Amino acid sequence: MSKGLFVSATGTDVGKTYVTALLVKKLVQSGLAAGYYKAALSGAECQNGQLVPGDADYVRRVAGLKQTYSEMVSYVYENAVSPHLAARLEQLPVELSRIKKDFYSVAAAYDYVTMEGSGGIVCPIRYDEEQQLFLADIIQTLRLPVLLVADAGLGTLNSVVTTCEYMQNHNLPLAGIILNNYDENQFMHRDNRLMIEKLTGRPPLAVVAPGCTDLALAAADLAALYREID
Ligand X SMILES: Nc1ncnc2c1ncn2[C@@H]1O[C@H](COP(=O)(O)OP(=O)(O)OP(=O)(O)O)[C@@H](O)[C@H]1O
13 binds, among ligand X, Mg ion, none (CB under 5 to 8 A by kind): ligand X
Minimum separation from the CB atom of position 216 to ligand X (A) = 12
CB–CB of 215/22 below 8 Å?
Answer: yes
Nearer to ligand X, 85 or 111 (CB): 85
Report what 102 binds from ligand X, Mg ion, none; CB cut-off 5-8 Å by kind: none
- The stretch among 50-58, 119-127, 153-161, 185-193 that binds Mg ion (CB under 5 A) is 50-58
Among 15, 55, 172, 178, binds Mg ion (CB under 5 A): 55
User: What's the CA dihedral at 196, 201, 207, 210 to 10 degrees?
Assistant: -30
As measured in angstroms, the least distance from the Cβ of 168 to Mg ion is 24
Q: Does 181 bind ligand X (CB under 6 A)?
A: yes
Task: Report the residue number, 2 or 8, with the smaller CB distance to ligand X.
Answer: 8
Tell me how many degrees the CA angle 26-28-29 measures, rounded to the nearest 5: 65
Binding mask 52-81 for ligand X (x = CB under 6 A): ---x--------------------------
Terminal-residue alpha carbon distance, the chain: 8
Q: What angle do CA 128, 132, 134 make, to 5 degrees?
A: 130
Three-state secondary structure string covering 122-180: CCEEEECCCCEEEHHHHHHHHCCCEEEEEECCCCHHHHHHHHHHHHHHCCCCEEEEEEE
> What is the Cα–Cα distance from 24 to 70, expressed in whole angstroms?
18
Beta bridge partners of 177: 148
Out of 3, 16, 38, 66, pick the active-site residue: 38
Q: By CB under 6 A, is residue 26 in contact with ligand X? A: no
Residues lying near ligand X in the complex (CB under 6 A) are found at 9, 12-18, 55, 119, 180-181, 208, 210-212
List, by residue number, the catalytic residues: 38
